[in-house]
Structure 1
Amino acid sequence: MICTVRDSTPADCRDIMRLIVGLAEYEKMPGEVKLTHKELEADGFSSSPFFKCLVAEVPEELQSREGHTIVGYGFYFFTYSTWKGRVIYMEDLYVMPEFRGKGIGKALMCRIAQIGLARGCVRMQFTVLDWNKPSLDFYSDQGAVNLTAAEGWQLMRFEGEALEKLAQATN
């Protein structure tokens, strides 16, 4: 393995933000990232964190062209299925393009799965854009099931004005 997968620290938040922006660019949504590294630090490293994050770090001699040693991340949190029980949700899995194909993404994903099993989770869930064939193929090759194709589940979201309007409704 060319990297070490470890729990992130507050000092990693700038690098994690850099990688989040890289993921947004890859997903053709670069203007959607509104989060700052300070918010990330507050939300992930408080006494009641909203998420957990792993980073993939390479030795100095393998650093990126720009001089980065943190080259990937896996962002996750815990949720619950009323039918099955504990669930680990993988929000993001990202590896810098120049480090793909070296087992880093799989190492991050496997570690998230190990964490989930250690915490009694019965499944790991995540979403993938429908056009992202390389990722869909990668996850399928690992044994993941596409729930939209298999069961017809559709991901829904309220945000912004719609969320505020919903929260103000009384019935």
Structure 2
Amino acid sequence: MRAVLLGPPGAGKGTQAALLAERWGIPTISTGDIFRANIKGQTELGRKAQEYTNAGTLVPDEITNAMVRDRLAQDDVVDGFLLDGYPRNPDQAVELDSMLADLGVELNAAIEITADSEVVIERLLKRAEIEGRADDTEPVIRKRLEVYATSTAPLTAFYAGRGLLVQADGIGEVAEVTERIVGAVEAH
């Protein structure tokens, strides 16, 4: 299984990524983890990414793409992977296709976990309270959801147009959502 995982903040991507990867016996590749590993390891790409994160700006696609390309070249992804947090836009999706073509493989699915915005806002506010995230206020969360919707709509359309988009409702008990996703992928 080679898949990307899409969904708004608070939809349960991190939780589902871990469960799905375990279920399918493949590694989860999180761009956040890749960034942290490169920064901690003081790689050339990590140092470049650190400059942007220190300035509070987004890491440019070319750096993100290079980090993902390096990660996809590692031995543990030969039998598959689940990408969480990448691609974030159609340009990155095209670059991912190029990376996979270089490896002689293709993407099997783009899995979008859907969720009602109001439920997601409640989840994120509760998580902010539990984890002490003072900056995760309702207006900030609503803005993040707005940015996600604007930036991801072209990405879901990209994968839908290629017949790769699989959608599953992310609201419910964790195990129910996992089964819903697996069922949707198998039906695909």
TM score, norm. by length of structure 1: 0.33
Asked which structure has the greater RCO (Cα within 8 Å, sep 6+), the reply is 2
Say which structure is richer in strand. 1
Say which structure is richer in helix. 2
TM score, norm. by length of structure 2: 0.31
